[in-house]
Structure 1
Amino acid sequence: MKVLIADDEIQIRKGLRLKVDWDKEGFEIVEEASNGKEALEKIKNKDIDLVITDMRMPIMDGVELARRCHIEFPHVKIIVLSGYSDFDYVRNSLKQGVRDYLLKPVAPDELEEAIRKIRDEIKDEMAKKAELVRMNQLANLHLQEMQEQYILYLVKEERLQPNIVKERLQQLQLEELLNENAKVQFITVEIREAADPIKLEELMLPFQMVCREIVQEQKGTYLFKDPSYTKMIQFLQIIESDRQTSTRTSQLVKRIQHTINKYLKLDTVIGIGNVVNGLMEYRSGYISSLLAWSHSLLGAKSQVIDQIIPREEVFNFSPDIEKRLTNAIEHADLLVFKENVHSILGGVENQSVLSFSFSANHVLFLLGSLAKKYGIETSNIQNAIWNCQQNIWKLNSQYEVKENLILLAELIIERVRQTRFSNKAIIESVRSYVDLHYASEISLTTLSKLFHINSAHLSETFKHHVGKNFSDYLVHLRMEKATELLKDHQLKIIDIANLVGFSSSGYFSTVFKKHYGQTPVEFRNSMTGNG
């Protein structure tokens, strides 16, 4: 800790140096000054922690120095030295930020006691500051993780509910994604290493950290990780104008490849997706970036694939087609599914490879979403999804791609049939869905429609298998999540209420107190011993 001594008498300054073993007490005298003005100039140029100043000095006295320090350098601690006749004046100076005052002549033990008190105060402040920084970092990391998870949800979910999405984006501080006129582009980044595949596993965390640092420097750019693609990071960037699209994308891609090669010595394969408008087109934009990446050559060689797919081909996979395919799976009708797949992926004259790839990937995404919805992501189904994706990437045979998709659908239909006729299985699927979407508006009615089951039967079956009715289960789940979030003191009660599915902090507090016998504030205080 750095010390400045201010006194117009050089002998007194020398005497103060000799009265205490400064090094032993954790201090270092780095500056001296003969008046307050000189001291103030030196404080501006040096990171001073403690100033010991005489009361009476020419040009600027000790109290004025303390007052100026209190305004300009509030972290600096001040000890004033004074004669007995100045006692009342110095005591009033405590209001100006003076931490202590000592009567002249200063006794060594008094000076030691004073600086030790200052030392402990500085250490305590430093510890609190470090803890605040740590808590802010944890809060930012938690927010960042939730943002990434929700962006992944936006690009993977079959149908988005605008009101819920809007509210959630506001909660997660992603308001700039709400602009329906905002143009967005997805960029897929994969790392490759030819000689040592294990090296990739070891470098995945550094890869993610490097990508996050790049995103922090790029305004309007976000990233997320799709568990389906283990060696990739996905970037989302907002495009402000058509003229800047090419330039901004090119700069970002060059920065990614240069940084990863410089620090990780890895090759990168980058797929650049189409520019899309609004949240409802995120899924198509994301798929287009994966399609671009899928055209890369095998092997460890840095590549950039900028794939421009005509708009009329990208968006010919209508909601009606999705609905027909979904109904075929959920009603266990493989024949109808086959007919629709052949209609989409075959029999169309002059169908481009790009159009075929997009449609096949869209069917695959739909099947994967249904498998996740029903909680039937078995190893067989996961392997079938991977085989489908491999065949779509290779595009050696359109027939093989269609047959693989039909085989996958057959596996999913069989599992859906078992689930639909097994109360235990359907309840586990419902429970898994609720555990994932507890913060959204969920009711038995919406669940019964989603899983094609009578709401009264669902209510009775849920209570039988889970041991409590649906509403009690949902409240209990939300309360458990709330207790976890209450550990983060950076989150306000209204934030926590929103994050666990309550629009009103008052109602949240009422439910919480009924559940735990304490308000959220009382519960938080009891965890820190402040209650």
Structure 2
Amino acid sequence: MIKVLITDDEIQIRKGLRLKVDWEKEGFEIVEEATNGKEALEILENMDIDLVITDMRMPIIDGVELAKRCHIEFPHVKIIVLSGYSDFDYVRNSLKQGVKDYLLKPVAPDELEEALRKIRQEIKLEKNKEAELIRINQLANLHLQEMQEQYILYLVKEERLQPYIVKERLKQLKLEELLNVNTKAQFITVEIREYDDSIKLEELSFQMLCREIAKEQEGTYLFNDPSYTKMVQFLQLLDSETSTRTTQLVERIQQSITKYLKVDTVIGIGNVVSDLTEYRTGFISSLFAWSQSQLGTRSQVIDQTITREEVFFFSPDIEKKVTNAIEYADMHSFKENLHSILGGKKNHSVSSFSFSANHLLFLLGSQAKKYDIETNDIQNSIWNCQQNIWKLNSQHKVKDDLIMLAQLIMERVRHARFSNQTLIESVRNYVDLHYASEISLTTLSTIFHINSAHLSETFKHHVGKNFSDYLVKLRMEKATELLKDNQLKIIDVANLVGFSSSGYFSTVFKKHFGQTPVEFRNSITGSG
């Protein structure tokens, strides 16, 4: 119902207006009355009113002054002014103050009905437009959120992190707080245990509930790794190493999931890290903590800090050797490194073995993601391997599982590298994820170990356009999604899709679509 306020200093006029039409039938509800403009303004401050019908001549504040005030303070409110013949010109001038219509006294029922129907149609159109704008903004915000989640996953999984590019990208994605030197971070792995794998709705509900929890907590982000389909990951920012915020978040997660999904949760709390370069270790440490949980379905929280010795043991040079072995499908080198990592250290503790095994599994998953070979069988193999690390019934079983998984991934990587079409699809998927970064053929040739000239020629042959044209088209498509969000400035959109200059972005956009970003946004929102 459209809510109406009648304002007139004569009670008989107010009563008469109530009787002239069937307000409910017309879609209106008279919710309040006022005897002058001052009373009307007070009511407007405290009630949600859509339409004010006001007399012209009233004590204290008259109809024209009320219309002026409404136009400024309550611009969404529609105004109909009632007047006598002697005020005709005065009323007509008042239309400039936001008055939608005026009616001469005594008001004829058919004229009032006509005025109300015009107002109703106008309000309906405005509300439809508002609802559409809200929907568009929600979609745009969802798109930005997805970009944020993908980039956090990138921070924990990518091999090469260039500090300057990472810093700029975090600013573009409105993740500046991750750059605060006084802010530490902690990763939290959450698994729901013992649910029917065939019922995907429950898994989706789990992710949606966790996403809502993350939104409620300041400095908290959610993301998920496709390699761990039964889990979600939280990134919690901390002002100090105190565990208070983390404890509160964990309690909130467990209580909500138990209440709404009726299932148990197993939560692993990772090490507190102080720098973006430590995010990978922080993430793996949360997986390691989770892997120390006990079998069964009861809810558990595991906060098991990894010592610096255990983290240091898996040094960057060892990680690089393992990655190269997977990249070049060198099983001999992989086995040598695996036995060195998992069997070469004297007095290997259970925790250091488990952490190192988790790290190896993580590297295998990263290579699978890079070449876009995270098929169901590989994801299942990763999960089964993770389960055996978690159970740790046998170190030999864990090693055998890692070798079998490595063989499977290496076969797929080898196929990707020796099949131009598969390799280009991997490159293309990488570009689709990192289109907003400073990405070039030289960068891609380094990442995928391909000659840049050969990559350029092969990319054009399989994709149908050269790399630069493909990148521009992709960035423009992403820009059209972001431009739907009026809260983002043009320079924000430019940055988010990989342009440092809004001027150059506008030039490219107009060349691509025949209109500037501002013109495109106005055509969507109906403004301008």
Please report the TM-score for the alignment, with normalisation by the length of structure 1.
0.90
2:284 & 2:428 partners in 1: Cα distance?
A: 29
Name the CA distance, whole Å, in 2 between partners of 1:428 and 1:76.
55
**1:275 correspondence with 2:276:** no
Match of 1:223 in 2: 222
Give deviations 1:358-397, integer Å, cap 9, x for gaps.
Answer: 1111122112222333344466654543443232212222
Question: How big is each residue's C-alpha offset from its partner over 1:81-140, in whole Å with a ceiling of 9 and x where there is no partner?
Answer: 222222333333334433322222222222222222222222222222222222222222
1:128 is aligned to 129
- Work out whether 1:76 is the aligned partner of 2:73: no
Structure-to-structure mapping, 1:391-402, within 5 angstroms: 391-402=388-399
Q: Is 1:265 matched with 2:266?
A: no
Give 3-state SS (helix, strand or coil) of 2:187's partner.
strand
- The aligned counterpart of 1:22 is 23
2:357 is aligned with 1:356: no
1:239 maps to a residue whose letter is: L
Shift of 1:498: 3.0
Residue 54 of structure 1 and its aligned partner are, at CA, apart by 1.9
Letter in 2 for 1:6: T
TM alignment of 1:361-440, pairs within 5 A: 361-377=358-374, 381-440=378-437
Kindly state the Cα deviation for residue 484 of structure 1 after the two structures are TM-superposed. Answer: 5.3
* 1:510–1:348 CA distance, 2 compared to 1 (3 A): same
2-structure distance, mates of 1:54, 1:517: 51
* Structure 1: distance between partners of 2:512 and 2:73: 49
Alpha-carbon distance, 1:342 to partner: 1.9
Match of 2:330 in 1: 333
Contact persistence 1:368–1:385 (CA under 8 A): yes
Aligned to 2:150: 149
* Cα pair 1:294 1:393 within 8 Å, conserved: yes
What does residue 37 of structure 2 align with?
36
Which digits, 9 at most, give the CA deviation of each residue in 1:393-452, with x for residues without a partner? 122222332233233334444444455444444444333333332322222222222222
CA distance in 2, matches of 1:256, 1:487: 33
Aligned equivalents of 2:412, 2:114: Cα separation in 1: 76
Contact 2:227 2:382 in 1 (8 A): no
Structure 2 residue identity aligned to 1:328 = A
Contact 1:158-1:366 at 8 Å conserved across structures:
no
* 1:316-354 Cα distance to aligned partner (Å, 9 max, x none): 322111122223333443333322222222232232211
Q: Residues 169 and 408 of structure 1: is their aligned pair in 2 closer, same or farther, counting only changes over 3 Å? A: same
Distance 1:390 1:278, change over 3 A: same
Cα distance between partner residues in 2 of 1:84 and 1:527? 44
Change (3 A) 1:19 1:284: same
Gapped runs of 5+ residues in structure 1? none
Give unmatched runs, 5+ long, in structure 2. Answer: none
- 1:3-402 aligned at under 5 Å gives the runs 3-193=4-194, 196-199=196-199, 201-242=200-241, 245-377=242-374, 381-402=378-399
What residue identity is the alignment partner of 2:78? K
Change (3 A) 1:385 1:83: closer
Name which of structure 1's ranges 131-140 and 217-226 shifts more when overlaid on structure 2. Answer: 131-140
Aligned partners of 2:140 and 2:482 also within 8 Å: no
CA distance in 2: counterparts of 1:47 and 1:412, whole angstroms:
61
Question: How many Å separate the matches in 2 of 1:82 and 1:366?
Answer: 79
Q: Distance in 1 between matches of 2:421 and 2:78?
A: 67
Q: Distance in 1 between matches of 2:484 and 2:23?
A: 41
Give the Cα–Cα distance (whole angstroms) in 2 for the partners of residues 454 and 93 of structure 1: 74
C-alpha displacement of 1:11: 2.1
Q: CA deviation at 1:214?
A: 1.6
Aligned residues of 2:193 and 2:265 also touching (Cα < 8 A): yes
AA aligned to 1:358 is F
Q: Cα distance, 1:220 vs. partner?
A: 0.7
- Which amino acid in the other structure matches residue 116 of structure 1? R
* Aligned 8 A contact 1:225 1:233 in 2: yes
Identify if the C-alpha distance between structure 1 residues 19 and 523 changes in structure 2 by more than 3 Å, giving closer, same or farther. closer
Structure 2 distance, partners of 1:368, 1:464, is 29
Q: Give the count of matched residue pairs.
A: 527
Tell me the CA shift for residue 221 of structure 1.
0.8
Identify the range of structure 1 (485-494 vs 16-25) with the bigger mean alpha-carbon deviation. Answer: 485-494
Residues 86 and 374 from structure 1, CA distance in 2 versus in 1: closer, same or farther, beyond 3 angstroms? closer
Between 1:47-56 and 1:379-388, the stretch displaced more is: 379-388
What SS does the aligned partner of 2:271 have? strand
Distance 1:116 1:158, change over 3 A: same
CA distance in 2 between partners of 1:297 and 1:31 (Å): 64
In structure 2, give the amino acid aligned to 1:226. D
Q: RMSD across aligned C-alpha pairs, in angstroms?
A: 2.9
Structure 2 residue matching 1:315: 3-state secondary structure: helix
Whether the 8 Å CA contact 1:135–1:490 is kept in 2: the answer is no
- In 1, Cα distance between equivalents of 2:356 and 2:184: 22
Match of 2:468 in 1: 471
Q: What is the TM-score when the length of structure 2 is the normalising length? A: 0.90
Show the counterpart of 1:505.
Answer: 502
State the shift of 1:467 in Å. 4.2
Distance 1:103 1:419 in 2: 80
Q: Secondary structure at the match of 1:12?
A: helix
Where 2:148 maps in the other structure, the secondary structure is helix
Question: C-alpha separation between the residues in 1 aligned to 2:164 and 2:493?
Answer: 19
In 2 relative to 1, CA 477–3 (structure 1 residues): closer, same or farther, beyond 3 Å? closer
Q: Distance in 1 between matches of 2:255 and 2:377?
A: 39
Contact kept? 2:3, 2:31, Cα under 8 Å: yes
Question: What secondary structure sits across from 2:100 in the alignment?
Answer: strand
Which fold has the larger relative contact order, with Cα–Cα distance below 8 Å and residues 6 or more apart in sequence? 2
Letter of the 1:85 partner, please give it. Answer: S
Query: 1:2 — aligned with what?
Result: 3
Residues 414 and 78 of structure 1, relative CA distance in 2, 3 Å threshold: closer
Does the aligned pair in 2 maintain the 1:179–1:278 contact within 8 Å? no
Q: Taking structure 1 as reference, are residues 379 and 191 closer, same or farther at Cα in structure 2, changes over 3 Å only?
A: closer
CA 246–380 in structure 1, closer or farther in 2 if over 3 Å, else same: closer
Aligned partner letter, 1:311: R
Matches of 2:380 and 2:5 in 1, distance apart? 70
CA distance in 1, matches of 2:143, 2:511: 28
* SS class of match (2:297): coil
Cα distance between partner residues in 2 of 1:507 and 1:62: 51
Shift, 1:186, TM fit:
0.9
Q: 1:55–1:386: structure 2 CA closer, same or farther, 3 Å change rule?
A: closer
How far the C-alpha of 1:526 sits from its partner, in A, is 7.0
